[in-house]
A and B are shown apart, each in its own frame.
Chain A
Amino acid sequence: MRYLPNTPQNQRAMLDAIGARAVEDLLVKIPAKARLSRPLALPPALAETALVRHLRALAAENADADRYTCFLGAGAYDHYVPSPINHLVLRGEFFTAYTPYQPEASQGTLRTIYEYQTLIAELTGMDVANASIYDGASSLAEAALMAHAATGRGEVVLAAGVNPLYRRVVATYCGGPGLRLREAPAPDGVLDLEAIRRLVGARTAAVVVQSPNFYGCLEDVAAVAEIAHAAGAMLVVVADPVNLGVLEAPGRLGADIVVGEGQGLGVPLSYGGPYLGVFAARQELVRRMPGRLVGATVDLDGQRGFVLTLQAREQHIRRAKATSNICTNVALCALMATVYAAILGKRGLVEVGEQCMAKAHYAAGRLTAIPGVSLRFPAPFFKEFTLRLPKSPERVVARLARRRILAGVPLKAWDRRLGDCLLVAVTEQRTREEIDALAAALAEAVA
């Protein structure tokens, strides 16, 4: 077995040193009645060649975004991943390292996290960012819990435009402390500000708004901030950091906490994970933040160095009173995002955002020129938009998939009122030809 170096001779020498006849002698504390008396019923072991054949066969059954033209979004996007990212994260010193608890032997990881915290703070316009949460949805759940702890209030108002999958995760996490979740309606695809004013009050810990929201529409975050703050509540903004080269930083619009899915920053689609939970906040909240934080300090010689800091918030120190139960995070995905941001840089991220925006608007123009197809909501959008179709979106999607086009996400499963709607996302990766091909195929499918 190629992963096990002990030879029978090694094993004999070690057993002799221990004073045992066999490994069995070392297992004496396991009660006989609890021992497994048969081999595990697992499929037979595969040699590497057979394993590769097996997994390639499974992979080939999937409509991946290399072989299919992908217009799917709804929280995960087909942005380009520049080549150096994979080469760098595959360096064993990064990807086989543990959490940097021994800082002298972990300066590489600590520095990349410090860079990551800086770039997330910069993009979101916030003071501090942590070293990551699992994904955008669990980041939002942590933000709701943090707002509850910081304000001592028991209600969270969530805009209807917040990704419905995120809202379900928030509900799971908030069940423990028994927070009340209230939904603020978005009848025209964006928040009804009057309705939210009525919902927000002295019990509100936080108002959560996503922009662009699940339907692709841009929300008036600054107006929501005013309403939240007037009631002494916090504003939590869900944002996609890839968009923040072009769209205003939530921190400048009044956000107290910014969370989001960082997958678009160089992290592969991987059928839903692992992704990158972005979490940033105002300075005053730093001691209530969940997750790891890296800080700068000096060593014995006065040399600059980096350490995990403010650990008294965390489970390994504070146990039941920790700000969160998170231990393992998604450090390697944060490294991908860090390298991505370094590669795209100040101008590249703007260009990616503008190309997404431009191609999405071109696509919306082409698609709504098809008879019977229209934009469902009038609000401005960025890289994603909701279409109303004259035929069943599920059937249209199935039909276009046969032509190797993943046309979008039918919204019926997420919102019954939108049974005739399709959510279409367009990234910088899509070409004009691909968009034209989508338009032609859709025109045929709804004719």
Chain B
Amino acid sequence: MARRGKPAYDKLVFELSSPGRMAYSLPAPDVDVEAARAQIPARYRRAQPAELPEVSEFDVVRHYSRLSQMNYGVDTHFYPLGSCTMKYNPKINEDMARLPGFARLHPLTPEAHAQGALRLVHELAAMLAEIAGMDAVSLQPAAGAQGELAGVLMIRAYHASRGEQRTKVLVPDSAHGTNPASTALAGYEVVEVKSDATGEVDVADLERHLGPDVAAFMITVPNTLGNFEPRIVEITERCHAAGVQVYMDGANLNAILGITRPGDLGFDVCHFNLHKTFTTPHGGGGPGAGPVGVKAHLEPFLPVPLVTRRGDRYALDWKRPKSIGKLQAFWGNVGMLVRAHAYIRTMGADGLRAVSENAVLNANYVMKRLEAHYDVAAPGPCMHECVLSARRQKKLGVTAMDVAKRLLDLGFYAPSTYFPLIVEEALMIEPTETESKETLDAFCDAMIQIAREAETDPAAIHEAPVTTPVRRLDQTKAAREPTLRWRPPA
């Protein structure tokens, strides 16, 4: 099944360049440029021009339109990417974020003249606190990983404020990679806690590790196998009895909106991924936003500044002597906060609960339809995502990666593969609540077709994908001879 001919488009913008073309429009200078030039000493001025492309405006528009067509997005394709919550990103949110009052507002505008933006941020923090059952929320972290860093630093500051020197943080072996990475960045030794055969925390192993040197236990709820930890309340209680703070990775919050809350489960800190649960677009990798919520005993340590309200006036509060400090130059990814605010106000309490109920229903339906064809990593019911294993197919020479590539040809983006690490040949599927039964059925049909092909024609699967702009790419070559920028042909 070789590709038919060359791909439709294979240009980089630098390769379109033609000296003398232009795509910009600036007014003629209305002040003296020569006089200003003379004020800048020659050694500070650029000696050789930066080799940027010279193209027309239409060149730019057509080039990036063509490039966009080489992508699968949620708008065009079902994206069953586990742990990433690739749901529909409402268009109205984009319009609201582009209102000049938000999009054209400078971060150092005097507070008296930014009351609407401050109020929006303050209201969003309050809504997120209610959703998570937390006492206070900072919207400053730029992404989930930065929320994690903020949370762990707050825990560290909290223990230090009590004169305690704790040096370790416990993380399950099924955790997202950011959990150990953020924890190590905050200066802690990371200790892995085992999961049992069903992906749940091995409470006996956790007990063995709990001690006066442990600062925190960090866990994702529902866990990365898509299951709710039935003993989670017992776990948070045991941690607290040992003086250990408990952190919830909120990546999977989409499963529990209005059903249960991290705060009510006993968590001291949690972060939110607004680009997952709260519909801000993923943008090909970002930007996101990773607000962090805490219980009252951690509130003094929140990043500065915090948006506060006095009467009907809103302000940035910098006078927080116990704060862990700043994470970004300004106040947070406000453009993303506008979108999340618009989403929560659109859904309301009943709508958010319906989100989670439908997300759970959709995931269980997919798991049910596929359980005869693939191994299921942990028995259901699952929450918002299910983890399958292609270990059966692997015996026929078809890996989880092969299944993923074949799906691309059948018109679907791929599930997350090889995560969580504790599942062999993992295929992690998160359908989200915004997909219809028809789409789920079409996806399940494709998955079943691939399972059959694995038995009858595995070689064909190894050829996949053949309908994408390029076929399988040589990752080894890319890493061995890194070519990380374009250069003009010699």
Contact = CB atoms under 8 A, between A and B. Distances in A.
Contact of A102 (B44, B148, B404): B404
Nearest to B40: A380
B365 A18 contact: yes
Contacts of A176: 153, 184-188
Given A324-B185, A431-B30, A98 B329 contact: no
Q: Which of A58, A65, A80 has the most CB of B within 10 A?
A: A58
Interface in A18-54: 18-20, 23, 25-31, 33-36, 39-46, 48, 51-52, 54
B482 A286 contact: yes
B358 interface: yes
Interface stretch (B50-58, B204-212, B446-454): B50-58
B361 A23 contact: yes
Contacts of B29: 354-355, 358-359
Contact of A46 (B6, B325, B346, B362): B346
Interface string B191-234: 00000000000000000000000000000000000011110110
A78 B105 CA distance: 9
Contacts of A138: 142, 146, 327-328
A117 B484 contact: yes
Interface in B456-476: 465, 468-475
A327 interface: yes
A169 interface: yes
Contacts of B142: 134-135, 138, 273-274, 328, 330
A348 B354 CA distance: 51
Contacts of B246: none
Contacts of B260: 30, 34-36
Given A88-B65, A100-B285, A165-B326, A72 B109 contact: yes
Interface in A99-120: 99-100, 102-109, 111-115, 117-119
A63 interface: yes
Contacts of A312: 479
A51 B92 contact: yes
B490 interface: no
A97 B73 contact: yes
Interface stretch (B110-118, B291-299, B388-396): B110-118
B348 A43 contact: yes
A226 interface: no
Interface residues of A, number: 210
A233 interface: no
Given A40-B353, A93-B72, A112 B143 contact: no
A401 B115 CA distance: 14
A273 B287 contact: yes
B55 A345 contact: yes
B45 A30 contact: no
A93 B332 contact: no
Nearest to B421: A319
A269 B107 contact: yes
B30 A29 contact: no
A1 B46 contact: no
Contacts of B372: none
A407 B73 CA distance: 42
Q: Which of A106, A121, A327 has the most CB of B within 10 A?
A: A327
Nearest to B69: A93
Nearest to B412: A105
Closest 3 pairs between A and B when the two form their complex, measured CB to CB: A59-B101, A272-B330, A92-B75
5 contacts: A45-B351, A64-B103, A91-B68, A303-B470, A309-B482
